[in-house]
Each structure stands twice: as C-alpha cells, then as structure tokens.
Chain A
C-alpha cells in the first residue's frame, strides 16, 4: 500500500523493520531527519536496539564496527563532511569484513562549504571496499536497504555497503512509498548470522597488522568478495522481486535503450528527470535511451558493456569530479567500453545542488551527438 511520506522517514521506517541491534550516528544535514526518527523510535521502544550517541562521525562508525564485530546487525547514516571524517574507519570496516549498512544522503564536499546535493562524498570512498548502491526515488531507497543487508551479510560477501540517495532531492521530498510490513521484512531478511564474531570463550583478533607476506592476499580476498557481491545482489534482487513485485535483479537498468543511437548513463535521482527527457526526445523522433547504474561498487563493467551494445554515442552524467582527471563514472564507463568503437563523453553536472531540468538533459544529448564532451556542463562563464 502506498503511503505519502518524506524520504528520510521512509529510510527510518525500513531500517526499523530491518531490526538493527546497534545504531550509532551523528546528525548532519541533510541526513538529520533519518537519525532523529530512529532515535525517537528507539526511545519509544519501537526498535529493540542500542542507540549509541557519539561526539563525531568517526566515533559513530567506530562504534558500529565494534558492535558488528561482536555479532550485531548495525546501522549508521551520514553525508559529506561526516563521511569524510569516517574515511579511516571505512577502510577498516571493509578490511575487517563487517557487513555494516550505512545510508548516505548524498551531499557535496567543501571547500567551499555547501550543504546541497551531489555525489562527491560517496564517490570519494569508491576505493574503500564498501558496496555502493544508488537509488532513483524513495521507493528504491527503502527497498535497497533491505537488499543491502541481505547482500552484505551473505557469507560469500561479508562487506559493508552505502545505500546512497540524493540529499534534499530525495531525503526531503514527500512522495508515495510502499513499505513492507514487519512480517514481510522478517520473511525476506532473516536475523543476522555472523560468520565469526568477538567471543571471550573463543577469542579472535580483528584488524591486526599484516606483514608484506600477507597484506596483498588480504586485499585480493576483499576484492574477490566485492566481485562475488554482484551475484549476491542479483540473487537478493530477484528474491525481492518475487516477494514484493519490484525486481532488482539487474545491476544496471536500461530505459528505452532498444534501437537507441545515443545513451545517457547516470546514477541516482537524476535518472527520473532523464527518463522524462528521454520520453520527450523519443516523441520528437530521436533515438535516445538511458542506462541507470544501480550498483557502482562493485563496478558492473560487463553489464554496462552488454547494455550499451548497439549505441554509437554515450553521454555520462557525473555528479562528482575527480579533480584533475574527470568524472568518476565517466572514467569507468570509458574503460568498460574500451575497444567497442562507441564514443563516450563525460559531463560534470549538478554539482553542489545546481538544479537539472529536462532541457539540460536534452542539451547534453545535443553536445554528445556533436562530439563535444568531457566538460563541465552549464558553466556560468560570467563569474569565472
């Protein structure tokens, strides 16, 4: 049943139903509503969880890491500077193979200070070993949390995940969302079954140092586990579709790509606007489609190459910039399509909350079809 609610509230409600045993988070705009809601739920005994109040994001994720190692299902949420402060713990959480799920209400990084949306924060942690999922709307945001726990806790994976949804654009938007009941969530997501945990009766050490004889092999195993997460996601996404009717078995989602000459590639809420723009361009007789990258880590290179087979031009919308190199998504899409003969152009767009309209999407398609790309889109040259 569809209910009308704020995106952040949908996240809190679904997290509650995923039954985390420990929650630790530090409030930061635009993530705040999520952790406020959860704190209230814990205070009202709606969740049987320990809510650990902390003095920083570094402590929040450290508390989650310890609780996860002790065998608890844990949850955190952050954004932007908060995620930057977690940098060290992020690498440790993946290295210690703890299946922590953390919501990222995507926001730009300073300086200059900006509270508005882009995807620089999570993208900047792309090398940390965390899985990364990007939601198009608040329904997907809620659904991906359930899938994330299932994938992370899969004994073939045992890695943490970011569930990313665009700050403000989704987190502060009210729209209809269908939330499964507690019983339905329980049927999909069984209780956490740790592969190993801290236990005084059978002592283990987590996060020890590794000498040069072992370090490379540890990193190799983490990398292999990330690749196995693809299959785990497909399984969990298919199972989700069977139970709830919304199928997530594909790591990438094509929209009107059949017979398309030009394909847009994007992640997150911009895909909604892009789909409407594609419909308008299609109505005007232009063969344009969209590929939504639902999972950015592990990177679905093969799935992208398969989905874009047959197009001649690709325009990647990057809501981030790897300064001195280009957009992160564009760089990886180019690598995935290397040798295919497809022309791939990258556009840095929608940084720091700049609004994107359908006509902007159409303008990007025009540029790509003219062979102009690898650029910032819509620069206000008068202020440069």
Chain B
C-alpha cells in the first residue's frame, strides 16, 4: 500500500488527479496484498478495484505462478517485476513489456532492509514515464525525513537510472 500511496502522491505532485487504495482488509506483512492506483486529468469518481491494469508492479516474485499477476493486462501494458531471475516469460501476455529489476538487492544496499516500495517506484517512473523524477523525490521527502529520505531517494534514483537505461 505504501508503494501505491507514494506513486499516486508523486503523480498528484506532478499535476494530475490520482487515487490510491488497498484491496481492503488483508494488510499485513507477509500475506499477499494488492493495492491500486489511478491517474486522470479529471477528478476520479470510480471506486471499483482495477481489473484491466495498464501497469502492474510485482513486489514479490514468488507470487508469480500462485497468482495470475498479469490478469486483465492487454498488449501495450507494462509490468515492473522485482526479481533476480526472470524466468516467467511463458506467463506474460502478448504485447506486455516486462522490466525485471532486482529491487530487493538495491533496497538492501541502499536502505539496509528488503523493503522495495521506493526502489520499485523509481523503476515504475522510468518504465512508464507517468511520474517525473522531481515530484517523485518530493513525494519521498514528504514521507520520510532526514537520512531515511536521502536513502530512499537514492534507492529510487538508482532504479530509475537502471530501468531508464534499459527503456
């Protein structure tokens, strides 16, 4: 949920309307959870969950196979997947572009903990172009303070540059 909130916040800082919400009720660390984000140039009224995502972020690659993380995606969609060994090509729908990034390692190196929200946010920004680096950094500095803010910004920027180079 933190990743969804931060992405929506950064998008809002970038000048669009946005909405972020969890798939309610099962928010606990370790359980499979979903969260959703919408962006729009107009005020967002729709409240249903997202069934046909343009983009997906998969934080835990062990879910792939157990859960159809690509469900509802169509050609032109973009998937950002945290993994060190991208071996799920057969499951990717036709026309969906996958960015595999080892966000856990980046998070461990930059933050010292395997919490990948901000790293994947940087990857999302670079892969989709929906968020610019400046509002992203602003969102992170609003959410975190002091050295934690610096570390998270560094993790996001590293992923941004890594994926940006590949995009």
Contact = CB atoms under 8 A, between A and B. Distances in A.
Q: How large is the interface on B (under 10, 10 to 19, 20 to 34, 35 or more residues)?
A: 20 to 34
Interface stretch (B39-47, B74-82, B87-95, B147-155): B39-47
B9 interface: yes
Nearest to A279: B45
Nearest to B11: A4
Interface string B1-39: 000110011001100011111101100000000000000
A174 interface: yes
A355 B5 contact: no
Interface string A157-181: 0000000000011001111100000
Contacts of A137: 45
Nearest to A29: B25
A353 B46 contact: no
B145 interface: no
B52 to A, nearest CB: 11
Contact of A174 (B20, B25, B45): B20
A275 interface: yes
A175 B45 contact: no
Interface stretch (A193-201, A244-252, A266-274, A310-318): A266-274
A357 B21 contact: no
Contacts of A275: 45
A115 B26 CA distance: 10
Interface string A95-134: 0000000000000000000011100000000000000000
Given A4-B9, A168-B25, A353-B24, A175 B18 contact: yes
Contacts of B25: 115-116, 168, 353
23 contacts: A4-B13, A4-B18, A115-B24, A117-B24, A168-B24, A169-B24, A172-B21, A172-B24, A173-B19, A174-B8, A174-B20, A175-B18, A175-B20, A175-B44, A176-B17, A269-B47, A272-B44, A272-B46, A272-B47, A273-B46, A273-B47, A273-B48, A357-B51
Interface of B: 4-5, 8-9, 12-13, 17-22, 24-25, 44-49, 51
Interface of A: 2, 4, 6, 30, 115-117, 136-137, 168-169, 172-176, 269-273, 275-276, 353, 355-358
Given A168-B22, A276-B45, A276-B46, 16 more contacts: A2-B12, A4-B12, A30-B24, A115-B24, A116-B25, A136-B45, A173-B20, A174-B8, A174-B18, A174-B20, A175-B19, A176-B18, A272-B44, A273-B45, A273-B47, A355-B49
